[in-house]
Structure 1
Amino acid sequence: MSQGLTARDEPIVVLSPLSGRVVPIAEVPDPVFSGQMVGSGAGVEPAPEAFDVVSPVAGKIVKLLPHAFVVVDASGRGVLTHVGIDTVKLKGEGFTILAAQGDQVAAGAPIMRVDPQAAIAAGYSLVSPVVVLDSKADTATLLAEGSVAAGEQLFSWVRPA
């Protein structure tokens, strides 16, 4: 660590939890995410076929829902992965959980498998926001553009001075 910085201030690199097209956070089709009310980050739009979702950072799964999860890293920062927009309304249809709340996971570890057909049939966007919880707007820096594979670097984040 750099002198004077705590572990919480060190930059982190967030991996893409799924393969797809990188979507800048301002273009995520949900005002809560695009307005960065939950935190800064990016979105990923997967192809409309079954896909796996992996942990974007190493840490502990502190929240695990059928459509979303939060992993807290060793320094206490939470990273939220929300698969699709409005997918909570599916009540788990199309989602298979592969991990458990409370698990310690490596970055890139499988968390869920998704068959997006129910979401597509309901007209829901598959764009999946990935954000550092409670971070200030525009503090994430995209490390990928175009398409990204699950487990590849998506963005970096550092606490502003």
Structure 2
Amino acid sequence: MFKSLFKRAESTINLVAPLTGKVVPLNEVPDQVFSEKMMGDGVAIVPSDNAVYSPIDGVVASVFQTKHAIALRSNEGAEILIHMGLDTVNLKGEGFEIKVSDGEKVSKGKLLAYFDIKKVTDCGYEVITPIILLNDDQFEINHQSISNEVNGGTDNLLEINKK
């Protein structure tokens, strides 16, 4: 009985907010791919600051060539996507300054990128940033901070458990 309690606690992953801003439910993201959870469950942040931080301890799985998204893998195996803005792939890297590379180890709160929210807005794109649990067949979101203002790199955002 006690082994299962301790095992459950060990499999809990606490994600910190990758951006400073207002947390909103995924169903409020004005993009069907995210709002209907086609890529996975998660939340979104409307950023008020340009810095993007690692929400987990793990590794950079992939920095997208167009710099608008970063995929991370936690030490426990959870795969997290930070998709900076909507349709920002069209900017072809403009407005994004990436500070990490594929395969690099990261810790919670490590600076991953700068996201020029003014440039993105001026170009007519949404800055709302989905944070997606990609492998929700293996992990599940247990708790979310919704409708809160969060500080990037420090405040808790999600709690994920291994299924």
TM-score class normalised by the smaller sequence: 0.7 to 0.9
Question: How many residues align structurally?
Answer: 157
CA positional deviation for 1:141 = 2.2
Where in structure 2 are there 5+ consecutive unaligned residues?
none
SS in 1 for 2:89: helix
Distance (Å, rounded) in 2 between the aligned partners of 1:51 and 1:124? 15
The alignment's C-alpha RMSD in Å is 2.4
| Cα pair 1:40 1:140 within 8 Å, conserved | no
Query: Is the CA contact 2:62–2:101 (under 8 Å) kept in the aligned structure 1?
Result: no
- Aligned-residue offset at 1:134: 2.7
Change in Cα spacing, 1:28 to 1:5, as seen in structure 2 (3 Å) is farther
Equivalent in the alignment of 1:148: 150
- Structure 1: which amino acid aligns with 2:70? F
Partners of 1:144 and 1:153 within 8 A in 2: no
**Equivalent residues of 2:24, 2:146 under 8 A apart:** no
Q: Using the alignment, how far apart are the partners of 2:38 and 2:6 within structure 1?
A: 26
SS of alignment partner, residue 4 of structure 2? coil
Instruction: Using the TM superposition, give the Cα deviation of residue 114 of structure 1 relative to its aligned residue in structure 2, in angstroms.
Output: 1.6
Post-superposition CA distance 1:65-112 (Å, at most 9, x none):
211111101122111111111111100111111111110000110000
Residue 66 of structure 2 is aligned to residue 64 of structure 1:
no
* TM superposition score normalised by structure 2: 0.85
Structure with the higher helix share, 1 or 2: 2
Report 1:11-160 matches (<5 A). Answer: 11-47=12-48, 51-65=50-64, 66-135=67-136, 139-143=141-145, 145-151=147-153, 152-160=155-163
**1:158 aligned counterpart, secondary structure:** strand
Q: Give the direction of change, closer, same or farther, for the CA distance of 1:73–1:139 in structure 2 (3 Å limit).
A: closer
Q: Structure 1: where are the runs of 5+ without partners? A: none
Moved more, 120-129 or 150-159: 150-159
Post-superposition, which runs of at least 4 consecutive aligned residues in structure 1 deviate over 4 A?
Answer: 4-7
